[in-house]
Every structure is written in structure tokens, then in C-alpha cells.
Structure 1
Amino acid sequence: MGITMPGITMAQVAPAAALPDFTGIVQKNAPAVVHVEAKYSGRRPKNSAGGQPMQGMDPGQAEIFRRFFGMPMMPSPEEQAHTSLGSGFIISGDGYILTNNHVVDHADVVTVRLQDRRTLTAKVVGTDATYDIALLKVDATGSLPTVSIGDSRTLKPGQWVLAIGSPFGFDYTVTQGIVSAVGRSLGGGDQPSTSFIQTDVPINRGNSGGPLFNLQGQVVGINSQIYSDTGGYQGVAFSIPIDLAMNAVDQLKAKGFVTRGMLGVEIKPVDEDVVKALKLDSAKGAIVVNVTPDSAAQKAGLQSGDVILAFNGHDIVQGTDLPPLVSLTKPGTSVPIKILRDGSEKTINATIGAMPRNQNEQSALGKVAPSGGSSALGLSVENLDSATRSQLGLKAGEGVGISDVTGPVAAQAGLQQGDVILMVNQKKVGTVEAFRAATANVKPGDTVLLLVRRGDTTNFIGLTVPNGKDE
């Protein structure tokens, strides 16, 4: 006899039966997941303990687990200063293993432990701090179990994923969740060339370097970071896309380091001020703040003020979309770049250069801008002398200096005396007269876009003139 609950229909409870069963994925792949331990003769580097950049359990908790629950891989408090714990996974039967760079960075000895309890010494074949990738190699008798590599580009928010790793030294711990977002930038920092997979999979210290699987049992990411105020899991974890990681693997095998493409531009996201000033339909794209001399961008004809809409066929929805795409492009490749200039779309081709090693291509979210002047904008400007231009690396006829901030519009935007204005609404200004002409028709309600140099940083600043006496 069936039992029904008041107010609940079968249609409402049916979805519970459709929840995925992860046991097959775990049984197949757990043997290819390894525990990684790195030893240091001195104190280990900052953020090397797996689960970067958060703190783990306190020393008292760690000691209780180690002593009373028999955790041979959990170091004592004294050992923690010289030990880093993490996870990894075997990508080929001949012993190549992927993990995070921050797990093994500067280690003297690296060992991995397999599910069959074998402990093997690992050689660090190569590392890349920018992608936070490390490739290890172990020698073992017979062919080792391996994971299957998937396609992280097909991931969509809402899809189920699971992780296998060693949080706090608990080997082969399985956690599951969903993809929360893809293409997530963490704000520049040390990894501007990585668009992370964000998940709500419980990830903690020791999970770093472990695999993230899709429901097909394929690795789609490498668990790398968590966001937490306390050091514990709070529902926000980040994984490196496996496509990016495997690109790095091929290069690490071949030459021991990773080469990235470089366009040679500083960019800024298209914000509301840029949209207003340039009368754009949306805030999509990345606006070029500065072009590096003799770079691929300069040779292709890119200019300050251009809005990059697409790179090599990929739409640039937000500014942070561009660095990873450029980074993954092989130097010497010619790619089409769709831009918006003076209200018209056009496509130019750029031959991508090579980024110098140990240098990151970042979106420049830069600084701010610079007697004549504009009362509406609240600033006065003056011509630059040749010595000032030479010091700033400017050519003759480039830029005017802010001699005084006279009103609230410029002051609220953070403009300062000594800043240099290079462009007004994408038009170059090199004299007080040119600045006056460019701002002569500014009226209440208008937004004016200035390209500003302060020191060695250049940025676009939008100034909106108040519309009414009380604003």
C-alpha cells in the first residue's frame, strides 16, 4: 500500500532518484590518485602546504589526529615547518604525475604514496608558478593506473563534479558538488593567465594538486585554491582547467618550462564610464590602456582607446577573458583581433610574441589621470616641458599635465596635480589648446573618458559631469 504525505506529490520527490551515483567513478580512478609529501631542509615556502592560501587545522588538532587516529602522513607540529602535503594524479602509465607547484616548490625530497601503499620517490620534471603546475615522474614496476583526461572547455555551471584527494592527510577522501562558475579570474595577482573553474566541492588543505572529475569519470581540473576567512572549507573552491594544465605538461616534458604568448597591451575592463563616454551598446570587451613599444600589439596597429571585442574567434565578454587566451596562444601564431575604434568595428591580425619567462601578462587596472583646463571637469592643465616628457617616456606633443584640481568631479575621480592626460575621449591631446578644444562642448550629464598617466602606470578614467545643482 502506497504512502503519501500531505501537500507532497510524486513529481516533487522524483528528482531525488535521479541523483548521480559516484561509486563507479571512484572505484575506477582512486588508484590513480596519489598522496604527495614534500620535505624541506629549511622552513617551507609560504603557501606550500596544500590548499593555498588558507590555514589548516591548528597544531593541537593535528597532533590529536596524528597520535590517536594513526595518520602516518600527518606531520607533527615540529615537522610541519619542513613538510608540505598535497595530492596528485597519474596521467601516464610510465609514471608522470600532475600536482600543484605550491605543493612541491623548493622541496629537497618529494615522495608519493599510491593506493596500494607503495611509497615512491618522485623527480620534479618541471614546474610553472604562473599556472601553479608541477610535473613529477616516478619509476615503478609495471604500468601504473592512470586517469582519463577530459575537456574543461565543455564545463557549464550546475554540472556535477567530484574530487579525490588527501585533505589533512586523510588519503582518498571523496567530496562532491557542482560547478559554480567557469572562467573565473581571481583578480590578477600571481595567476592572471588562469581562468579558474569555481565549484562548491569541499576542498581543504591537502586537496591541492588533486583531480576534479566530471560525471564521465574524466579529469577536468586540478584543485588549487579555496576562499576562506578561517582556513576551512566555505563553499568556494577553485580548480585549474585541465586543458591549460595539459598544455603546460607537453612543454614541461619537452623543455622543463612553459612558454606563453604575449600581445603587449595593458587593458582595463569596459565599465559604465567607458560605456557612457564611448556610447557603447554594452560593457563587453577590454579597452586598451597602453601599448608596449615594439610588441605584437604595436606592430599590428593596436592603439590606446581601442576596445578589444574578440581574440582569435573568442568573444571578450570581460577584460579578464583576454590574458588566458593570449597566454595559451603559441608564439609566432597570427591571430585575428576584432576591435572597436571610433565607433566602427574592424579586424586586425597580430603575430603573437613570446612572454619573457617569469613575467605575467596582466590586465592593468591602473591609476589615474592629469593651465587651461575645464571648469566642468574641475581641473586645470599645463603644457609639459621636454624634460618631463623624457622622464615619462613620452614623445613630443604627447600629453598635458594637471596643474590643479579645482572641482569635485576630478577630485572624486582621484585625479591629482602632476598626473598627465594623454587622451580625451580617445583623441590624443598634447597641448593646452588641444585639451580645451577636446573638452569645449562638455555639458551636464556628459561622461568624458580620459587616458591618464601617473608615474609608470596608465589608465582610463571616466568623469561624469553632474546633471543639476544638487548633485
Structure 2
Amino acid sequence: MKRVATFLGASILGGVITLGSYKLIMDEKVPYQEQEIITTSKSDFLPVSYDSSVYGTNADFTEAAEKTVHAVVHVKNVAVFEKPRSIWEYYSRGGNSGKALQGAGSGVIISPDGYIVTNNHVIAGASELEVTLNNNKTFQAKVIGTDSKADIALIKIDSENLEYIPFGNSNNIKLGEWVLAVGNPFNLTSTVTAGIVSAKARDLNASDNTPQSFIQTDAAINPGNSGGALVNINGELIGINTAITSQTGSYIGYGFAVPSNNARKIVEDIMEYGNVQQGVLGISGSDVNDRIMKEFNLEVSQGVFVGDIDSGSGAAKAGIQKGDVIRQIDNIEIRKMSDLTGYIGSKRPDDTVLVTAIRNGIEKQIKVKLTKYETFAIQAIGLEVANASKDYLKKFQTTNGVIISRSLLGDEQSKALVGVIITKIDNQKVSNVAEVKSIINSKDPSEQLSVTFVNYQGEEQTYIWR
């Protein structure tokens, strides 16, 4: 009997010790660390938080949602028409003789004094902009500036002490990280959906002359959410929701957002300079693939293969060479061209970046000072032009000209001209963007304009616009 009692006592004592140890371990408090708000001297007007350390599938979304819903607004794009000239025009507007709704979307308040980021396509062509806050208060907004390439616009309302979302660092996002898409699509107060980061540096149009770089997410994004916020679970802005891929036009699991670092840089440029300051390395190339690996006997399977270098560019001056494979810029891994363009898109002219490249099997680190990307929009013909390298001109069997970098009209006919060379304007040879700008700006808009193109076979063709 004594032995049984002794055994029972030992068992109880062991249980007490185990439970006590468990309680001590579980009750140990993890020291609280305040988030450090990091700003730069150039961007004191834009609140920024670069401490994005909360990850995990057990994350609580309620705090992030509460922080952000009141900073996402509904943006209404209204066109104002003159009095209808005929009964047909009256009915074509649905009986509305004064105003017509062009479209609607969402926007993100980024400062307490009323600056709002949205998509350019949300506000394009607007005569009036109406912004409705989450508390149903309505304001008239004005456009501060736009970047149609990145599909970002900055607008402003006259108000103070508004709730806003601080910018996070989109370079730090991770695949599989939880994110929230916050929008105000139908003016029914803000809506929150949850998902993960599905991919980074996603290019939706591989045939475009300038690769895009989007964050892909499976958080539900539907029409009307354009211009809304993609936030991490700290409530920091890591993207501006921009597009979906869907055959039906509705959510099927593929949403895309402009990274916050790129959006922030565009906004700061507009506020500081009045336009977007785009820095470039000065190289053209392609993603490393199986064909390039075999042709150039490369030992790496990922990166950007440098096929051409613009004369006078930062890359040329720093010593980057044809055949180099760029693997990293600063601390950002470069696996494909959209990684490169996405990161460089967050930089300005005269910024210096550290390029890690493979040359003849040897890794080299090269400091490159970015140069300004110069373009000029020839509105009369709906095309934008940029400077062309000497090697690119040789492909067209010409020694002068500028490259068509973008279609302003968006139609298939003008898109087909992207990459073609313009050698003359009004029978005057042009060799750079500055010369094109000088000729166009010296003309009377009512005068006819002749433009000489060189096709891929080196043949010149001249067209006249009246």
C-alpha cells in the first residue's frame, strides 16, 4: 500500500512540475517593439513605413482592415457636355444634356491633407471628378498629375486631418504573404477581400516595348476596384490595384497591382517636379532562355542578357558590355526583364545602382549612374518617340532617327509601329528627341506634318498628316 501511495504521489508531483513549466513558458511575454517610421528628406510629405515583419497563416486581418477602409475612396469620373445639337445626340446620352458618367473606380488617400492616388484610366477624360469618402462625405477633386504608362494618377481634395495609408516597401513582399485588397467600387463604402501574393514582377504584355512589372494576387479584385489599395497585414500600402485577367470581366483569381515603390516615386515626382522623372540603365536585352544559353555558352539560366547599349548612357559609361548577364541590382534579384524594369522604375535620373553581372563566367559588380529617359509625344500622329542607339539604327540600315516607343492611341495599327524608326520630320533629318521636339514645337498646329519612317527592310516611306 505504501508503494502505491508513493507512486501516486510521485505522479502528482511530476504533473504539477510539467504544468508549472508549461505555464512559465507560455506566459513569458515577447517584448513589444515599436515600428520605426522611415522617411527620406525628399518625401517627408508622404508617410512611409518600412517595417513589414508580420507574416503567417494565423494572421489577424481585422486591425489592417480597420486601419485602411477609411482611407479608400470612391472616385466618380464625369464628362460635361454642351447642349445637344440634335435629338439624336440627346438620346445617345440617355437624355442627359449636361453631364454623363464616364466611369468610376477607387482611390487611396496617402496624406492627411487630401492627396489621393488612383489609376489614370479611372480619371482619363474627366471634366469633373467627385470623391466620396467612406463616411459618405463628397468632395470635388482636381488632377495634380498623371503617368499613363504606369496607369497612375494623383488627385487632390480640399480637406484636412483625413485618415490615410502609409506606403510600405514593395521590394520586401514575399510570395505567399497575406494581403488585403481594399476598394470602394460601387460607392457602397469600402470593401475588403483577402488573398496572398501570387507572383512578383509580372509582365502582362510581353510584346510591349517596355516590360511591365505588377504584383499578382488572388485577393478578389473586380471592376470598380481599380485605383484601390493592396495592403499587407500591417496596414501598409504595397500596391495600387490596377487590372484583372478574366474572359468574363469579373474576378477569377488573377489581380494585378502597381508596386507601391513605383507608385510612390511617380507621386513624389509629380509633386516635386510636375512630371515623372524616369531613370534608365541604357541597355536593351531579353530574358535568358535555353536558346541564348546555348548560343552564348552561358552557365546561368536566369537573368537579363544585354543585347545592346545606348551610347552616352550610364551603362555605357560604367562599362557594361554586350553579352553581360545582369543577375542583381542593389539587393534585388534579377531573374527576368520585368524584375529589372520594375526596380529601375522606382529610381530617378542620377541615382546610382550597383549592378551584379556575369561576364565570361566571372561575376562583376558595376556602379551605374542612371540617365534620364527622354521621350516626346507627337500628338498629331498619336505616337511617342525616344532616342535610339547606334546599333539599333544599324538594324534599319540608317545612321539617324528616333524610335517609336509607344502608341498614344492604343489602336492595333499604331501599336504595330512601335519599334519602327522615324528619320525625318518635314524633310528635316532627326537624330534625337530634342530635335523632334524643336521641329514640332516651332510649327503651327494647323500646318500639315510630314513624317518619314524606315521599315524593318530599311525602306523609307513618307506620310502626311493634315
TM range (shorter): 0.5 to 0.7
Aligned to 2:180: 162
Note if contact 2:261-2:346 (Cα within 8 Å) is conserved in structure 1. no
C-alpha distance in structure 2 between counterparts of 1:258 and 1:157, whole Å: 29
CA-to-aligned-CA distance 1:254-302 (integer Å, 9 cap, x gap): 1221111112221111110111233322311111222223322333333
Aligned-residue sequence identity (percent) comes to: 38
Aligned to 2:326: 308
Q: Which has the higher contact order (CA 8 A, sep 6+)?
A: 1
C-alpha distance in structure 2 between counterparts of 1:454 and 1:102, whole Å: 33
C-alpha distance in structure 2 between counterparts of 1:194 and 1:358, whole Å: 20
- CA separation of 1:82/1:21 partners in 2, compared to 1, >3 Å: closer, same or farther? same
Identify which range, 303-312 or 282-291, moves more after superposition. Answer: 303-312
The 5 Å alignment of 1:17-56 reads 19-41=58-80
C-alpha distance in structure 2 between counterparts of 1:393 and 1:289, whole Å: 19
The 5 Å alignment of 1:33-432 reads 33-41=72-80, 82-140=101-159, 142-188=160-206, 192=210, 194-357=212-375, 392-393=397-398
- CA separation of 1:213/1:308 partners in 2, compared to 1, >3 Å: closer, same or farther? closer
Note if contact 1:186-1:192 (Cα within 8 Å) is conserved in structure 2. no
**Match of 2:75, as an amino acid?**
V
- CA separation of 1:132/1:358 partners in 2, compared to 1, >3 Å: closer, same or farther? farther
Note if contact 2:376-2:385 (Cα within 8 Å) is conserved in structure 1. no
Note if contact 2:80-2:99 (Cα within 8 Å) is conserved in structure 1. no
- CA separation of 1:284/1:243 partners in 2, compared to 1, >3 Å: closer, same or farther? same
Superposed CA RMSD in Å reads: 3.5
Offset of residue 455 of structure 1: 4.6
Note if contact 2:135-2:189 (Cα within 8 Å) is conserved in structure 1. no
CA-to-aligned-CA distance 1:127-166 (integer Å, 9 cap, x gap): 11122111111112x4112223322222112122112213
Note if contact 1:158-1:180 (Cα within 8 Å) is conserved in structure 2. yes
**Match of 1:39, as an amino acid?**
V
Note if contact 1:259-1:357 (Cα within 8 Å) is conserved in structure 2. no
Offset of residue 222 of structure 1: 0.9
**Match of 1:264, as an amino acid?**
G
Offset of residue 170 of structure 1: 4.0
Note if contact 1:162-1:175 (Cα within 8 Å) is conserved in structure 2. yes
**Match of 2:106, as an amino acid?**
S
**Match of 2:313, as an amino acid?**
S
CA-to-aligned-CA distance 1:32-52 (integer Å, 9 cap, x gap): 211000112479xxxxxxxxx
C-alpha distance in structure 2 between counterparts of 1:226 and 1:315, whole Å: 26
SS of 2:125's partner is: coil
Note if contact 2:262-2:345 (Cα within 8 Å) is conserved in structure 1. no
Identify which range, 316-325 or 110-119, moves more after superposition. Answer: 316-325
**Match of 1:225, as an amino acid?**
A
Offset of residue 389 of structure 1: 6.6
Offset of residue 204 of structure 1: 0.8
Note if contact 2:69-2:190 (Cα within 8 Å) is conserved in structure 1. yes
C-alpha distance in structure 2 between counterparts of 1:115 and 1:169, whole Å: 8
CA-to-aligned-CA distance 1:297-317 (integer Å, 9 cap, x gap): 333333332222333443322
Aligned to 2:415: none
Note if contact 2:262-2:342 (Cα within 8 Å) is conserved in structure 1. no
- CA separation of 1:42/1:303 partners in 2, compared to 1, >3 Å: closer, same or farther? farther
Offset of residue 186 of structure 1: 2.0
Offset of residue 211 of structure 1: 0.8
- CA separation of 1:20/1:305 partners in 2, compared to 1, >3 Å: closer, same or farther? closer
TM-score by length of structure 2 reads: 0.63
C-alpha distance in structure 2 between counterparts of 1:258 and 1:152, whole Å: 19
C-alpha distance in structure 2 between counterparts of 1:91 and 1:389, whole Å: 47
Identify which range, 125-134 or 80-89, moves more after superposition. Answer: 80-89
Offset of residue 219 of structure 1: 1.8
- CA separation of 1:266/1:356 partners in 2, compared to 1, >3 Å: closer, same or farther? same
Aligned to 2:417: none
- CA separation of 1:80/1:122 partners in 2, compared to 1, >3 Å: closer, same or farther? closer
Aligned to 1:410: none
SS of 1:233's partner is: coil
Note if contact 2:74-2:185 (Cα within 8 Å) is conserved in structure 1. no
* Structure 2: unaligned runs, 5 residues or longer: 1-56, 83-92, 378-383, 401-454, 459-466
- CA separation of 1:205/1:236 partners in 2, compared to 1, >3 Å: closer, same or farther? same
C-alpha distance in structure 1 between counterparts of 2:346 and 2:133, whole Å: 32
C-alpha distance in structure 2 between counterparts of 1:173 and 1:77, whole Å: 32
**Match of 1:91, as an amino acid?**
I
